[in-house]
Amino acid sequence: MEANGQVDYNIRDYFKEIMSCAHDPTRLQQKRYLNAIPRNLGYEVEDKVVSVRQLLTSNDFRKIGLIEDVILDTMMTGGEYTKVMREAIQSVDMPSEITRIPVRLPRGFAREVAELADIPITSGQYTSVELNAIKIAEAPLISSEMVEEQMWDVVADEIAGAGEMLENKITQDALTTMLRGVTQFHDTAGVNQGRLAISKAITDIKIAGYMPDTILMCPEYERILLDEMTSGYITAHEQSASALTGANIPSPYLGLKAYVSNIPANNDPAISSIVTDRNLAFANAGDIGAILYSKYHVQRLGTRRAIEMTNYEDPLRDIAAGIVFTGRFGHGWVESNSMAAVAIRF
């Protein structure tokens, strides 16, 4: 397929064409010569070094070097809909395996100065968070039989599944860090658990000198908020024009950017030693349904190495030999800013 002069191939079409070339009877003699070419022999095509073996087996020069991009795109697509914590907290690059990131503390007020007087320099106040990179990896199950039988839909799903698992791991580790770090709680005691609880938590964070802008919640807590909005506000005003059009109906999140996750935290002793259950859930006493926080001040997700794939010179052979995706990430809670977050408990 072509769009605006750009060639767009999905992984199914790509491997179907590669396989058709490999099974072409007129190329069997060429294949014997091809096998004698060193696998690490490269050739520069349009400023990119590609495998000579791949160059000789492709009948479309526009596809040369696309295999890694196609597989990576498929993998990233698999993790896209489970992506939560990458967006819910601040992300930073890690220049080294152990990285200390400065975090600005809340400031006071500007000073009044006389005309023509010297203006004093303000010294900033900072805390920091330490990130330690850990390696995560996943290898999708792709058998030689899948390639032999040209089961490209299954191959694509396996690669996308690996992307989902990698993204789930990033979210799980970041969520565990947040649950372990939060120290401020609003206990609902089983009543006023929806927007009234959020309002109280917002007030507590503002009194501490921070401006909450984000809420992370479990699906059960989201249901409480949505039920409040529909059965409470709309039912009471169902005859009004605003209810019919949706105008002036208050957001259940009270202006906060909302994220929802059903991924459980790690089985972390540091969590269970503080609270019986610190997973995001909202059914029993002690459960945490939501966490409100100032996104800049509480946590960092560091990337030492983004998710990448092992390079492959021979797509048909190497995809069945084992694709491996790896990445390195670090997580850290800003201890000095713990007042910038409040957890809502059942």
Which run of H or E residues covers position 308? strand 299-309
Q: What is the DSSP string of 241-268?
A: HHHHHTTTPPPTTTT-EEEE--PPPP--
- 130: β partners: 100
What is the tens place of the pLDDT at every residue in 35-50?
655 656 655 655 666 5
pLDDT of residue 142: 82
pLDDT of residue 4: 41
Q: What is the DSSP string of 102-156?
A: EEEPPP--PPP--TTPPPPPPPP-EEEEEEE-EEEEE-----HHHHHTT-HHHHH
What is the tens place of the pLDDT at every residue in 250-276?
566 788 999 999 888 876 665 555 444
**In the 8-state DSSP scheme, what is residue 280?**
B
- Give rounded-to-5 percent helix, strand, coil for the chain: 40, 25, 35
Chain center to CA of 219 = 18
- Answer yes or no: pTM beyond 0.95: no
**In the 8-state DSSP scheme, what is residue 233?**
I
Domain residue limits, the chain: 1-65, 71-108+125-346
pLDDT of residue 72: 83
pLDDT in tens, the chain (346 residues): 333 433 344 666 666 655 555 555 455 455 555 565 565 665 565 566 656 555 555 544 444 445 677 788 888 889 888 899 999 999 999 999 999 999 988 877 888 999 989 988 887 888 899 999 999 999 888 887 887 777 878 888 888 999 999 999 999 999 999 998 999 999 888 888 888 999 999 999 999 989 999 999 999 999 998 888 776 554 554 445 444 444 444 566 788 999 999 888 876 665 555 444 567 888 888 789 999 999 999 999 999 999 988 765 555 556 666 788 999 999 999 988 888 999 998 8
pLDDT of residue 163: 93
